[in-house]
Amino acid sequence: MDGAQTDEKLTAKQYKSDYRPVWCPGCGDFSVLSAITKAMAELQLKREDTAVISGIGCSSRIPAYTSVYGFHGVHGRALALATGVKLARPELTVIVTGGDGDGFSIGGNHFLHACRRNVDLTYVVMDNQVYGMTKGQASPTTASEWEGSKLTPHGTGVNPFQPLAVALAAGANFIGRQFSGDPNACAKLIAEAIQHPGFSFVQILSPCVTFRPEQREWKQTVHTAPVEPTSDPGRAGKRLMSDDGLNMGVLYVGGRPVFQPPEGTGATLADIEQKFTL
Amino acid sequence: MDGAQTDEKLTAKQYKSDYRPVWCPGCGDFSVLSAITKAMAELQLKREDTAVISGIGCSSRIPAYTSVYGFHGVHGRALALATGVKLARPELTVIVTGGDGDGFSIGGNHFLHACRRNVDLTYVVMDNQVYGMTKGQASPTTASEWEGSKLTPHGTGVNPFQPLAVALAAGANFIGRQFSGDPNACAKLIAEAIQHPGFSFVQILSPCVTFRPEQREWKQTVHTAPVEPTSDPGRAGKRLMSDDGLNMGVLYVGGRPVFQPPEGTGATLADIEQKFTL
Amino acid sequence: MSNSPQSDTVSIALTGAGGAGVVTAGQMLLEAAATAGLYGLMARSSGPQIRGGESAAFVRMGPRTVTNLADAFDIHIAFDWLNVERFAAEIPLDPHSVVICDPSAGAVPEVIENSGARIVPVPLKDLTKEIPGGRVNMVGLGALANLIGLPEGTMASTLKKILRRKGEEALKASNAGVQAGRQAVAEMGVVRALTLPDKPPQTERWSITGNEAAGMGAVRGGVRFVAAYPITPATEVLEWLAPNLEKIGGLLVQAEDELASINMAIGGSFGGVPSLTATSGPGLALMMESIGLALTSETPVVVVDVMRGGPSTGIPTKSEQSDLNIALYGLHGDAPHIVTAANSVADCLFTTQWTVHLAEAMQTVGLVLSDQSLGQTRTIVDRPADEPFQAQRLVAEAPLENYRRYAVTDSGVSPMAIPGTPGGEYVADGLEHSPIGRPSSQTEDHMAQLDKRLRKILLHEYGDHWAEITGADAPETVIVTFGSSTGPVREAAEEATAWGLKVKVVSLRLLMPAQTTKFEEAIAGADRLLVVEQTHSRQFYRYLRAYYDLPRDVRVLNRPGPLPIRPGEVLSMLKEWS
Amino acid sequence: MSNSPQSDTVSIALTGAGGAGVVTAGQMLLEAAATAGLYGLMARSSGPQIRGGESAAFVRMGPRTVTNLADAFDIHIAFDWLNVERFAAEIPLDPHSVVICDPSAGAVPEVIENSGARIVPVPLKDLTKEIPGGRVNMVGLGALANLIGLPEGTMASTLKKILRRKGEEALKASNAGVQAGRQAVAEMGVVRALTLPDKPPQTERWSITGNEAAGMGAVRGGVRFVAAYPITPATEVLEWLAPNLEKIGGLLVQAEDELASINMAIGGSFGGVPSLTATSGPGLALMMESIGLALTSETPVVVVDVMRGGPSTGIPTKSEQSDLNIALYGLHGDAPHIVTAANSVADCLFTTQWTVHLAEAMQTVGLVLSDQSLGQTRTIVDRPADEPFQAQRLVAEAPLENYRRYAVTDSGVSPMAIPGTPGGEYVADGLEHSPIGRPSSQTEDHMAQLDKRLRKILLHEYGDHWAEITGADAPETVIVTFGSSTGPVREAAEEATAWGLKVKVVSLRLLMPAQTTKFEEAIAGADRLLVVEQTHSRQFYRYLRAYYDLPRDVRVLNRPGPLPIRPGEVLSMLKEWS
Ligand SMILES: Cc1ncc(C[n+]2csc(CCOP(=O)(O)OP(=O)(O)O)c2C)c(N)n1
Ligand SMILES: Cc1ncc(C[n+]2csc(CCOP(=O)(O)OP(=O)(O)O)c2C)c(N)n1
Ligand code: SF4
Ligand code: SF4
Ligand SMILES: [Mg+2]
Ligand SMILES: [Mg+2]
């Protein structure tokens, strides 16, 4: 971590730690890390007032590679952990990072409720349609016929999870998607998401070159969403239910109020104790 | 349990046990119990080949009040338990019953994945927008401004969970809603859901007269869905995202294939062991 | 136990169907006793119906602190016999007992008849009918008041206070009911007199439940962030905290499940705010993985476990001490943490407060064991003293350079940077890590961090609070116990002392880390050790064997819930042994 | 340990960057040794990189079953020095050791230099360059083959077998590499000769890992339904089971998390199909609540816990025995269940099979402890014998009348009705219940069911399988251990015996219920007890204290992971003590 205690602008690099990622060469997550740090630089977030929270997985290693506060929690619970951080310390910028397994498999319930609760968090999921860290099992977003895992040798036989449609149905207010192959677009989307008040959800298609080498093809297949983002949930619902999974950009922005904890009344402990007195 | 080992038709009453429900007088769940047993009689399910599985909550007490096999599991895990039963014993009819807290709060993740996995289960949720069993806290479906619980004295401040929209987004193939005040309609819907192959989801508005006495008003406000059920997910998405929560009937029926476990190859243990031999 | 030192208490059981209002009557009785300058407690019990089934209230009153129920009830008032056999085991009666019942309720059940108690029919319902707006529980209350010699003025002023908001009509009807009840039993005179003080105690007294006390202790200890998922019998800790935290600028958030609530609490604490959650067995089980995260990442957090009957969903509304094992040993890996147990309703306050202090001081997990019988019992007690235990976390203050979050220090505690502190940026991790917090699978790092996490809790000076020790200095027998078994054990020990036995009671408040030396000093010289616990599998005894050297002669009095340990059981064990 | 009975083994470490192919070379070496009629094992280790970082393979070969790594390596071949210091602690070298390294890799690291080993530079890379399509690991393999005296024909036939599907080209290049390697070290001769048998063993031998063995044991025991959530190092149990279950008409389903996987397994078992899941510490922690459900509802289920470094996420890729506590005591409430531990790679098969049998016979939870060092180590062993332990559940057969699922029987086991059985309709429940399965909070029901659930596991006749006992009949010292520590302990004991000490080894396979009488017989007469375990907090020792009467003189050799317990450590403790 460089010093930069002065008023100078921080560069994206200064949001990176000097710890070398454990990722495989070519992993999409390298670009996502860059995008996140670029977004931080873009917004000139104070490093000491920013926290990156994650669960477990290759993608969940992100916190250690940034120079802000971080918490590398347990598998699937990043959103709950982050909710606690943000509610206890509302002035912090809290970013949550993780994978499709961490977020949509074991963490699915917290995903639903974070969308609904609308605490001001930014959730960046590096979706590689596989469990990278545990060496290549199907995740919820894996296509049903993918036969690459010994656990599901004939494919999962299950329709892939639609994170954006579920996020919308669960009440998320900012929904976007990008491809790690375009780190600038990712940085822009993440910066927008951070600025959005309340919960924002960003899916980033981030290839796992080791267990899903065919994902290199995403470069060819992703495309900008053909329509403008909508703020009408009904319309968004229709679109996301028939989405091809490769539309890039901000896809929905709603106007729900941000979760507001109640204000204190300035009472003292003695005031509270009063109630027990005979 | 009456005998009825003959070819006579079983009545709804014969699907009830002689155990007296612990419910408060007037609780909506009484009608749901009747509706479930009526549906069973309607379909003439064999009692020994039927299992009702639940978690914990007032509504989750249903299994004990039926005369079929049952499992009263732990809070929130009924769908996982039932998935195991059905996959191990595909010839059984497996019905899952529970509440909005059990199903959408602690059990939310299994709800997502049961919708997606499409194992042939029927899931009946008695939604009373409250945790009845623990004496009246807000559930995910509780309106954000409800101030009836000491845990959330100014209301939850959180948008209520939309079970049907989430079910659709998660991939559920049969989605319907009824009001416990109309047990015949409930019975009909449940029977349809049982007959539907794959996962089917039925929400029943079932008043908690003790902690949500105002729900007696549902009688006045519920209404038949003004449109025919659709099998187009996009259209259903639009509808359910702007649904008033009081539309009754079958709201979506899709055509996704049912989860199919692989067929055995007839190998013996010796065949398997062969692979280890030098 | 007629000549027990506690025989200056009066014990009353009230039972009846949901509509009878036994709990209200019980509460009024306790309140009236408090007004008369007494101490006391009220526990409750109910049948399986969610609402409106049969219920029972158990009140015990006396001139000094009452911590537990007695061996038998002096008076049992039965408004009806609805499923009373379900309560029979909870209402020990003996030939000294008096049973007041309504003849219109039908025949006296055999189980009551067989107790040998004196049965006195009183036409409670008929008397009620004559009072406009009258309620049967008020008639019963009047009868009780008379039978125990409660001054008329005391009852009247209590009713006035309690029914303040119900209006004049209601008050009038209640007073009339009480009068009718008094008259109905007037002939019997006072059957079991309250020992009334000459003047009311000068100390400030509180009316509080164990669950409220745990909440208050948390707040006194400095907790300002709580994440909650309701579960019987812990819910009231959370329900008390929600509005009260808010008043003082703290926050309680309702989570989607226990996996979320524990993680939210850990997140809040990472943010620098002392945090807590409360739950019961099934919820605790769900939290264990993440409790390990708090421990390993050295993020302090407190979990209050209000125990109920187990295993699995078990008996949610009844008490047991059987979560001891999971509290002590339920984490995977080598996971040293703090486990404490509250030894009375009032002590729920101190123990929770102290545990917050300990968890914060050592940046670790503090697990407080309470149970249903403490949490849901209301007591009249002296206001718990202010104690100097607050959250005082060792924080890393700016300016920071080359900050090492998990620096290996002599004390084992390393200064913790709180977000907002420049230069303190670190990543908290549940993976084993190096001193700067990078994941490491190296043997030296693992050893250093395991040692550090253990050292900090071993080196801490716990003072005298590790146990509460009462009784003889040079005992023949030491009784070792914990939690809610402490009350009945102490009562038995006092009685035994009156009988001439030399008995000492060691009630452990700090279960982990084991205070081996202090314990062995405390039991020194005693030939016999009696272990008392409310479990089926002798969890406490096994724990004692594992961690302390015990004298050769050890006996165990253990029993699962739902029935509380009674003083008489302990006493007969002591007598049998002597 | 040069004159150890195991000194007829040869130990080799191979290290290098991801591209070097050390694991492939190690596997070929083991396979070649097997072809030559030997036994052996290969363990692996790797750095933090997900793929492609440094890795290590540890091979030990000998004329009889090899259960563990030796104290030091005879030969260490380093293809490069990439982060070798990370492995240093795992590769004990001494002055008898030979280190083969490539001079082009740069200076020999200090930690290697300091070991005193003989360092022999061999230009592995340069030699490889001369071979079209050559790979450096094959050159290394050739060098090793020569240094340990592996017959040329054996190596050639092994390569042929392994490279069958890679084509002629690849085979040719590999053979050339091996030849080049052989020649490069020809001058050195055989530095550590393999003890080759005159003729290959006549028994059928298997090549199997502990995780595969656990899977095979499950299948032999009758498991036909498995629910899975991947976690290191348990994943291979599940990955082996998925395709193999399918072949025999069973099913593995991938669940969304561990809460689901354990519940799916319980559901499958309720349906009448013997069911299992496998996980590691964090997953086990998540399962505990529902494991309590299986226990209380008396639905048999088996959970295999492949332990890794803890607490929390800990050290996922390394071994430790520190989940003992959670396995024994991690359930809330009084929750008696079966806990077993596999004592070798091959024993993962028997122990899992036996545990399936036990869980099914007693309609309870069976928890099998394995660990990373067993699960992920490949061994060459004699085919594990067929054992008569299958799932044999006591089922209630039609016709049934007044069926009582939780009937209180003498054995504690009650006939279980399987869905499909008319008249057997009952509701399995985690709430405490009456004999017919209705929720009950009555003290008699609670006591009767607690007694029943305990009685059935106490009364079961476990036979000789509760422990494996080796060594002296009238020992001075008994070593008590379990799991993967058994191998090194036995090797040390054999060595100690050769030194003239009287040592007996008791390796517990059945940890719960504690077999107190059998244990006390097994240690009878010994003055000294040495406890050996791979934990930081002496979990096994505390457990022994809690459940068994131990001799006065007890010492504990305990150490956390990631390093395995070495025979030499145990031996020096024995010597020191004598
Ligand atoms: C409770 C628990 N269960 C399982 C695991 C094992 N595990 C670690 S990461 C992971 C999946 C990661 O997948 P994903 O979130 O998609 O991340 P990726 O590695 O693909 O980036 C699993 C199953 C764990 N660490 N903890
Ligand atoms: C792990 C766990 N957490 C919490 C509880 C406490 N609990 C029991 S039922 C319930 C909520 C029930 O609400 P719902 O599912 O809506 O059912 P209802 O009673 O309203 O029918 C809760 C929180 C529990 N039994 N187990
Ligand atoms: S395994 Fe896949 S996701 Fe993980 S680091 Fe390698 S390429 Fe990236
Ligand atoms: S509390 Fe509500 S949901 Fe529960 S039984 Fe009573 S009325 Fe029904
Ligand atoms: Mg992934
Ligand atoms: Mg509800």
Positive or negative torsion for Cα D212, D218, D224, D227: negative
> In this model, does residue D6 exceed pLDDT 50?
no
What per-residue confidence (pLDDT) applies to D274? Answer: 98
What per-residue confidence (pLDDT) applies to A6? Answer: 55
What per-residue confidence (pLDDT) applies to C157? Answer: 94
> In this model, does residue A263 exceed pLDDT 90?
no
Task: For chain C, say whether B230 makes contact (Cβ under 8 Å).
Answer: no
Q: Which of B27, B130, B206, when mutated, tests ligand 4's pocket best, judged by the most ligand atoms within 8 Å of its CB? A: B27
Beta strands in D474-542 (DSSP E): 477-482, 503-508, 510-512, 528-533
DSSP letter assigned to residue A161: P
What per-residue confidence (pLDDT) applies to C199? Answer: 86
Q: A88-116: buried (b, 16+ CB within 10 Å) or exposed (e) per residue? A: bbeebbbbbbbbbbbbbbbbbbbbbbbbb
Alpha helices in C114-198 (DSSP H): 124-129, 136-147, 152-162, 168-184
Q: Which tokens go with B211?
A: 């902690």
Task: For chain D, say whether C313 makes contact (Cβ under 8 Å).
Answer: yes
Residues C51 and C113 in one domain: yes
Across the interface, whether the CB atoms of C207 and A82 are under 8 A apart is answered no
Q: What is the mean pLDDT of residues C91-106?
A: 96
Contact residues, D window 508-537, toward C, CB-based 8 Å cutoff: 535-537
Lowest mean pLDDT among A92-106, B80-94, B263-277, C249-263: B263-277
Whether D199 is in a domain gets the answer no
Gap between the Cα atoms of C337 and C328, Å rounded? 8
Task: For chain D, say whether A71 makes contact (Cβ under 8 Å).
Answer: no
Residues C227 and C340 in one domain: yes
> For residue C244, which residues of chain B lie inside 8 Å, CB to CB?
none
What per-residue confidence (pLDDT) applies to C4? Answer: 45
Whether D440 is in a domain gets the answer no
Lowest mean pLDDT among A115-124, A260-269, D97-106, D525-534: A260-269
Whether C213 is in a domain gets the answer yes
Domain A19-275 top-level CATH class: alpha beta
- Of chain B, the end-to-end C-alpha distance in Å amounts to 58
The pLDDT profile of chain B, 278 residues, written as one tens digit per residue, is: 444 455 689 999 999 999 999 999 999 999 999 999 999 999 999 999 999 999 999 999 999 999 999 999 999 999 999 999 999 999 999 999 999 999 999 999 999 999 999 999 999 999 999 999 999 999 999 999 999 999 999 999 999 999 999 999 999 999 999 999 999 999 999 999 999 999 999 999 999 999 999 999 999 999 998 888 899 999 999 999 889 999 999 999 999 999 998 888 899 999 999 999 99
Residue type at position C399: P
Residues C184 and C239 in one domain: no
Q: Give the chain D residue whose CA is nearest to the CA of A150.
A: D239
Across the interface, whether the CB atoms of C431 and A89 are under 8 A apart is answered no
SS3 B110: helix
The count of CB pairs under 8 A between chains B and C is 65
Number of domains in chain C: 3
Contact of A197 with A257, CB cutoff 8 Å: no
Phi, psi of C143 (to 5 degrees): -60, -50
Residues C156 and C221 in one domain: no
Spell out the domain ranges in chain A.
19-275
Q: What is the mean pLDDT of residues D471-497?
A: 96
Gap between the Cα atoms of C55 and C80, Å rounded? 11
> In this model, does residue C305 exceed pLDDT 80?
yes
Residues C224 and C289 in one domain: yes
Residues D75 and D143 in one domain: yes
Q: Which tokens go with D530?
A: 């040495």
Q: What is the mean pLDDT of chain A?
A: 95
CATH of the domain at C545: 3.40.50.920
Whether D399 is in a domain gets the answer no
> For residue D235, which residues of chain A lie inside 8 Å, CB to CB?
134-135, 137, 151
Q: Which tokens go with C194?
A: 């309250």
Alpha carbon of A3 to those of A6, A10, A206, C423: distances in Å? 8, 10, 31, 8
Q: Which of B104, B134, B142, B151, when mutated, tests ligand 2's pocket best, judged by the most ligand atoms within 8 Å of its CB? A: B134
> For residue C564, which residues of chain D lie inside 8 Å, CB to CB?
none
The residue out of C382, C402, C437 marking a domain boundary is C382
Name which residue sits closest to atom 4 of ligand 4, judged by CA. B132
The model's pLDDT over A211-225, given as tens digits with 9 standing for 90+, comes to 999 999 999 999 998
Task: For chain B, say whether A237 makes contact (Cβ under 8 Å).
Answer: yes
What per-residue confidence (pLDDT) applies to A29? Answer: 98
The count of CB pairs under 8 A between chains C and D is 233
Length, in residues, of chain A: 278
Whether C245 is in a domain gets the answer yes
pTM over 0.90: yes
CATH of the domain at D226: 3.40.50.970
Closest listed ligand to the CA of A97: 1
What is the nearest CA distance from C349 to chain D, expressed in angstroms? 24
Q: What is the mean pLDDT of residues D153-163?
A: 93
> In this model, does residue A9 exceed pLDDT 70?
yes
Residue to substitute from D51, D231, D262, D263, interface A, most A β-carbons within 10 A:
D51
> In this model, does residue A7 exceed pLDDT 70?
no
Q: What is the mean pLDDT of residues A256-264?
A: 90
Residues C181 and C35 in one domain: yes
The model's pLDDT over D29-84, given as tens digits with 9 standing for 90+, comes to 999 999 999 999 999 999 889 888 899 999 999 999 999 999 999 999 999 998 88
Gap between the Cα atoms of C61 and C42, Å rounded? 9
What per-residue confidence (pLDDT) applies to D200? Answer: 83
Q: How far is the CA of A168 from the centre of ligand 6 (A)?
A: 24
Domain that holds residue C113: 10-188
Across the interface, whether the CB atoms of D285 and C332 are under 8 A apart is answered yes
Q: How far is the CA of A209 from the centre of ligand 3 (A)?
A: 6
SS3 D246: helix
Residues D63 and D155 in one domain: yes
Residues D138 and D222 in one domain: no
Bridge partners, residue D379, by sequence: D41, D208
CATH of the domain at C73: 3.40.920.10
Task: For chain D, say whether B273 makes contact (Cβ under 8 Å).
Answer: yes
Alpha carbon of D162 to those of B158, C17, D25, D152, D174: distances in Å? 61, 79, 11, 16, 11
Whether D404 is in a domain gets the answer no
The residue out of D338, D366, D382 marking a domain boundary is D382
The residue out of D382, D416, D451 marking a domain boundary is D382
Phi, psi of C576 (to 5 degrees): -55, -40
The model's pLDDT over C476-500, given as tens digits with 9 standing for 90+, comes to 999 999 999 999 999 999 999 999 9
Closest listed ligand to the CA of A60: 1
Contact residues, D window 208-227, toward B, CB-based 8 Å cutoff: 208, 212, 216, 219-220, 224-225, 227
Whether D457 is in a domain gets the answer no
Confidence of residue C231 (pLDDT cuts 50, 70, 90): very high
Across the interface, whether the CB atoms of C332 and D281 are under 8 A apart is answered yes
Name which residue sits closest to atom 26 of ligand 2, judged by CA. B75
Across the interface, whether the CB atoms of D333 and C317 are under 8 A apart is answered no
What per-residue confidence (pLDDT) applies to C2? Answer: 38
Q: How far is the CA of B139 from the centre of ligand 2 (A)?
A: 10
Kindly list the protein residues that place their beta carbon closer than 5 angstroms to ligand 6, a single-atom ion: B 99-101, 128
| C-alpha closest to that of D425 among C186, C284, C494, B4 | B4
Gap between the Cα atoms of B38 and B174, Å rounded? 20
The model's pLDDT over C315-339, given as tens digits with 9 standing for 90+, comes to 999 999 999 999 999 999 999 999 9
Across the interface, whether the CB atoms of B151 and C228 are under 8 A apart is answered yes
> In this model, does residue D571 exceed pLDDT 60?
yes
Q: What is the mean pLDDT of chain D?
A: 96
> For residue D82, which residues of chain A lie inside 8 Å, CB to CB?
none
Across the interface, whether the CB atoms of A24 and D50 are under 8 A apart is answered yes
Minimal Cβ distance to A63: which of C257, C421, C427: C427
Residues C223 and C156 in one domain: no
Residues D109 and D175 in one domain: yes
| C-alpha closest to that of D329 among C195, C324, C234, A197 | C324
Bridge partners, residue D205, by sequence: D382
The model's pLDDT over D325-346, given as tens digits with 9 standing for 90+, comes to 999 999 999 999 999 999 999 9
Name which residue sits closest to atom 1 of ligand 4, judged by CA. B132
| C-alpha closest to that of C539 among C482, C486, C492, C490 | C482
What per-residue confidence (pLDDT) applies to B228? Answer: 86
Across the interface, whether the CB atoms of B265 and D270 are under 8 A apart is answered no
Confidence of residue C18 (pLDDT cuts 50, 70, 90): confident
Residues D48 and D178 in one domain: yes
What is the nearest CA distance from A214 to chain D, expressed in angstroms? 17
DSSP letter assigned to residue A258: P
> For residue D38, which residues of chain B lie inside 8 Å, CB to CB?
none
Task: For chain B, say whether C48 makes contact (Cβ under 8 Å).
Answer: yes
Whether D331 is in a domain gets the answer yes
Q: What is the mean pLDDT of residues C41-68?
A: 93
Across the interface, whether the CB atoms of B239 and A234 are under 8 A apart is answered yes
| C-alpha closest to that of A114 among A55, A178, A40, A183 | A55
Confidence of residue D4 (pLDDT cuts 50, 70, 90): very low
Ligand 1 atom closest to Cα of D286?
1
Alpha helices in C363-480 (DSSP H): 372-375, 443-459
